[in-house]
Every structure is written in C-alpha cells, then in structure tokens.
Chain A
Amino acid sequence: MNKQLQLFIKALIDSARDLAPIVIVIAFFQLAVLQQPIPNLGEIFLGTIMVVLGLTFFVRGLEMGLFPIGEKMAHAFARKGSVLWLLVFAFALGFGTTVAEPALIAVAAEAAEIAAQGGVIDNSKNAMADYASGLRYTVALSVGFAIMLGVIRIIKGWPIQYLIIGGYLGVVTMTMFAPPEIVGIAYDSGGVTTSTITVPLVTALGVGLASSIRGRNPMVDGFGLIAFASLTPMIFVMGYGMVV
C-alpha cells in the first residue's frame, strides 16, 4: 500500500510539472503584459488541482488498462493468424470510437448550419439533422477505413511515406474540386477524430502488432495509424461535400 502511495505521489508531481508551463504562461501574460488581476482566483486554483489529479489518474489508467489490453489483443490476433478478423476489429475500433466522439458531433452540427445558410441544403431541421448525421457517418467510415489500411500496412510492411504522400496528393486534388464551403470543415474534421482515449489504444494496437509479426520493427512499422486517421477524413468529407 505504501509503495502504491509513493507511486501515486510521484505521478502527481509529474502531472504538476506537465501543467506548470500553462500556469506560468497564463500568469505571465495576465499579470505582466495585460496587467490585470486574475479573476476568480479560488475557482481557478481548484480547477487547476482537478486538472493535475485528472492527468495523474489518466496516465496511471493508461498503463494499467488501455496499453496492456491493446497489446494483448494485437498479440492474440497475430497468433490466431486470422487477418480477416483483425481487419474487422481495426475497422470497428475506428468506426465505433469516432461515431460517438463528442467533438465530432459538435463539428457536424455546426457544419450543417453553415451548409443550410449557404443554401447547399434546405434550411430545415430535418435536412440539417440528416446532413449532420451523414457527415458523422462519413468521418467514422473514413477513420475505420484508415485504421484498417494502417493495419494492412503493418502486416505487409509497406513504407509509410508513400501512403502519406499519396494521401496528401488526394487531399490537394479533392480541394480543387470540392465545394469551397466544405473545405474548411473537411480540414478540421481530420483533427477531431482521434480522441484522447482512441490514441493510446490505437498506438498500443499498432506497436503490439508490429512487435508480434516476424520481420516488422515496432519503431518503424508500429506507429502511423493516427496519421492515417487524421488524413482520410479530409478526403472522405470533401467527397461527401461533392456527392450531397
């Protein structure tokens, strides 16, 4: 128990150190540059303590739960030798974690509003809800596809740069043809797809897979899934904008 407590205190100090730069930056600009007092000091102090505690629990939880299960499942799939199930799993993970992502729900609703104002769709509640959910499913599909493609890359050992450069070319080409209203939203949707919980799990999956397949190096081949998940939504969403 004592050892647990020591570990926890060490983790707490680490989190405090991680957050110190934000506190210093805000304090410096508020007091020295803007020369204004800090409002609601008590509330801000409590909030900062919550952030420190939260980060501590999160990192501890990663090491206890998300990392081991991600890697163990990657090993289990590799041993089972069933590529099909692995791909289904990869797709489900990408699709399932994205479709419920709160940030994406917010962005999709905003996008529907912009589209309605721009006259792309009818300015009615129904049309907007349809557009928003269509957008969400498009992004979720693209992330599922991205994780699946990333897993195929790890299995085959393709160099990542060709796929990424190909993706960039795809984004540039689509930008030229997509309706201008959707471009900004498409670029942003690349950023909102990978949530704080998906990232560690997907990373553990990639690294676990690359270390259990003979001839793959976890450092060279294990990473890169997140990069795909940020790239494909841009292409898919612009495609959605062209079809709708």
Chain B
Amino acid sequence: MTDWLLSFAHTLALTSLDVFPIAAIIFGFQLFVIRKPVPQLRNVLTGFIYVLIGLTLFLQGLEQALFPLGKLMAQQLTAPEFLFGTLDAVPDQVHWNHYLWVYLFAFAIGFSTTIAEPSLIAVALKAESVSGGTISVWGLRVAVAIGVAIGIALGAYRIVTGTPLHWYIMAGYVVVILQTTRAPRMIIALAYDSGGVTTSTVTVPLVTALGLGLAGTVPGRSVLLDGFGLIAFASLFPIMSVMGYAQLSEWHARRTAARDAEERRT
C-alpha cells in the first residue's frame, strides 16, 4: 500500500510538472496581457484538477497493469522458443512468414492502443463539434487506429526483413502528397494532425517494447539500428488512412447522389 502511494505521488508530481507550465502561461497571459479575469474560473480550475487526477490515475494504472503485461507479451511472441518450438530450432535464415503472429499482434495492439489514446479522443471531440457532425468521433478514431495498426504491422515486417526504413518513409511521403492533391480540402489539416497525436501516452511504450523485442531476437538485426522506426510508421500511416476515409466517404456520397438522381429520372 505504501509502495502504491509512493508511486502514485511520483506520477502525480510528474503530471503536475507537465501541467504547471501550461497553467502558468495561460493565467499569466490572461492576467497581464488580456487583463481580464478568467471567465468561469471555478469551472476551469475544476477542469484542470480533473485533468491532473485523470492523467495520473491513467498513467499509474497503465504502469501497473497494461505495460508490464504488454511488454512481456511482446518479448514472448518474438522469442525463438515460441516461434520455432525450441531454442535450437532457430534457422539461420529466418523467413518473414515465421512471424505471422507478430504481425497480427502488432496490428491488434496498434489498433487497440490508438482507440484508447487520450490525445486522439480530444482532437476527435473537437473535430466532431467543428464539422457539425460530418466527421464523427468514432469515424475519425477508427480511421486513425486502422492507420496505426497497418503502420505498426508493416513496421514489424520491415524489422523482420531488414529492408531500409527510409524507402518506406519516402514512399509514404509520396502517397501522402498525392492524396493531398485529391482529398477533400476540409480533411487535410486534420489528417496531418492525426499523425502527431497517435504517438503518445499509450501507444509509444507498448510499440517500443515490440520493436526492441523483435530487433533483439531476429538474427542479423541490431537493436540500435532496427529497433526504432515503428513510431515513424505509426505517425505516417494515419495521415493516409484519415485522408482515405474522407475520400471514401466523399466518393460514397457522390455515388448515392448520382443514384438518387438516376432514380428520380426513371
């Protein structure tokens, strides 16, 4: 119990350190530059305290429950004992298809951690209210989560095969630029943002554990050179999936409209 309290206090202190500069800047500018009292001060302060408590509980719970288990699983799934039966059975030349469970795990963990990502929830809430419901909270979150899932699965495949990271990233940039020229204008800025919000509190620790576990056990890979880079994939692919989601829904709306017009004519 004392251990728990101590680590809780530690997390609370770290989170406060994160909140303090924000609060100082906001109140500083409000009082000295805008020179007006903070509107609805009580609500704002309660909100800040809720954010502080919420984030502390959230991080503490992750640290206690999900992270250790997730990291352990990433190690176990990439361990030769699991993949090849025994330690001695590791072939000299690994084939990418030995690791099918790893890709599936990468996809599933990428998807599920993104759905729970608090920053993404915040951006999705704003996008729904600003777009008047055209972009739904769930539509955006699922689109981003699919992007992260594909990105991390592909990143795991890259670590296994050892192909250079920058080919994927450059190809990804080209796709993003091409999509930008075709996608509906209103989605573009939001899509770029979704690349940045996915890589935070929940996703990074679990995904890093997966990458390091994989690079450490696949023969011929180095932890230093191949272990990182999953985060880069997780930031790039949501941009594509969010623009893709907008392109699909626009195409669908156009087709429905065309069909309605057709029906009216006949």
Contacts and interface: CB of A to CB of B under 8 A. Distances in A.
| Chains A and B are bound partners | yes
A219 B130 contact: yes
A54 B116 CA distance: 12
- Report the 8 A-B pairs with minimum CB-CB distance, sorted nearest first: A65-B47, A47-B65, A54-B58, A61-B50, A57-B54, A50-B61, A58-B54, A54-B57
A51 interface: yes
Nearest to B40: A68
Given A55-B116, A200-B122, A69 B26 contact: yes
Given A58-B51, A76-B36, A199-B123, A34 B199 contact: no
A23 to B, nearest CB: 8
A196 B55 contact: yes
Interface residues of A, number: 97
Interface of B: 14, 17-22, 24-26, 29-30, 33-34, 36, 38-40, 43-66, 69-70, 72-73, 76-77, 82, 101, 105, 108-109, 111-113, 115-116, 118-119, 121-123, 125-127, 130-131, 166, 170, 173, 177, 180, 185-186, 188-190, 192-193, 195-197, 199-202, 204, 228-229, 231-232, 235
Contacts of A196: 55, 118-119, 122, 200-201
A165 B121 CA distance: 27
B14 A207 contact: no
A184 B166 CA distance: 11
A29 B73 contact: yes
Given A18-B115, A100-B18, A194-B196, A219 B190 contact: yes
B130 A65 contact: no
Contact of B186 (A66, A99, A219): A219
Given A55-B54, A59-B118, A89-B29, 7 more contacts: A22-B115, A53-B61, A62-B125, A65-B48, A76-B30, A195-B200, A219-B190
Contacts of B19: 197
Given A50-B60, A62-B47, A73 B116 contact: no
Nearest to A72: B39
B189 A44 contact: no
A60 interface: yes
Query: Secondary structure at chain B's binding surface: helix, strand, loop or mixed?
Result: helix
Nearest to A210: B130
Nearest to B130: A218
Contact of A24 (B36, B50, B112, B185): B112
Interface in A71-95: 72-73, 76-77, 80, 85, 88-89, 92-93
B54 A54 contact: yes
Nearest to B122: A200
A55 B118 contact: yes
Interface string A18-30: 1101101110111
A48 B57 CA distance: 10
B20 to A, nearest CB: 7
A235 interface: no
Interface of A: 18-19, 21-22, 24-26, 28-30, 33-34, 36, 38-39, 43-69, 72-73, 76-77, 80, 85, 88-89, 92-93, 96-97, 99-103, 160-161, 164-165, 168, 172, 175, 184, 187-188, 190-192, 194-201, 203-204, 207, 211, 217-227, 229-230
Contacts of B111: 21, 25
B39 to A, nearest CB: 6
A192 B49 CA distance: 23
Contacts of A53: 54, 57, 61
A211 B105 CA distance: 42
Contacts of B62: 47, 51
A65 B44 contact: yes
B54 A43 contact: no
Contacts of A164: 180, 192
Contacts of A69: 26, 38, 44, 47
